[in-house]
Amino acid sequence: MATRKPLPPGEQFFTPGATGLRKAVEQRSAVPITFLFTQVPRWVTPALLVILLLAGFALDSWLGGVAVLPVVGFVGWLAYLSWPSLGAGGKLLRVVMLTFLLLLAADRFSVF
């Protein structure tokens, strides 16, 4: 049986000492991450997200808002998972991106 290569020092899949919600989200996210990176071709996820975002820009109706929502969910999910390892610049960038996407979705739903 082949032995598994250990992770390099300092790199862990889960946040060390995580409890509560963070631990639950990280554990539940392990299956979709594994599926995305092993069963689906690498180009599918980014291509789908770009198509949905472009549809959100192109459709000036509630359909554009619906198209943006999966992008908001995916970006928010990745931001949440990466948050503990980010510096101030990375955190700011993710907040700005999520704010922009939420404003785009709200605009398409005619909230503003």
Number of domains in the chain: 1
Q: How confident is the model at residue 1 (pLDDT cuts 50, 70, 90)?
A: low
- Classify residue 102: in a domain, yes or no: yes
- Classify residue 1: in a domain, yes or no: no
Sign of CA dihedral 66, 68, 69, 70: positive
- Classify residue 44: in a domain, yes or no: yes
Q: How confident is the model at residue 22 (pLDDT cuts 50, 70, 90)?
A: confident
Domain that holds residue 52: 20-108
User: Smallest Cα–Cα separation from 76: which of 45, 105, 99, 110?
Assistant: 99
pLDDT tens for each residue of 29-66 = 777 777 777 788 889 989 999 999 999 999 999 999 99
Quote the pTM value.
0.76
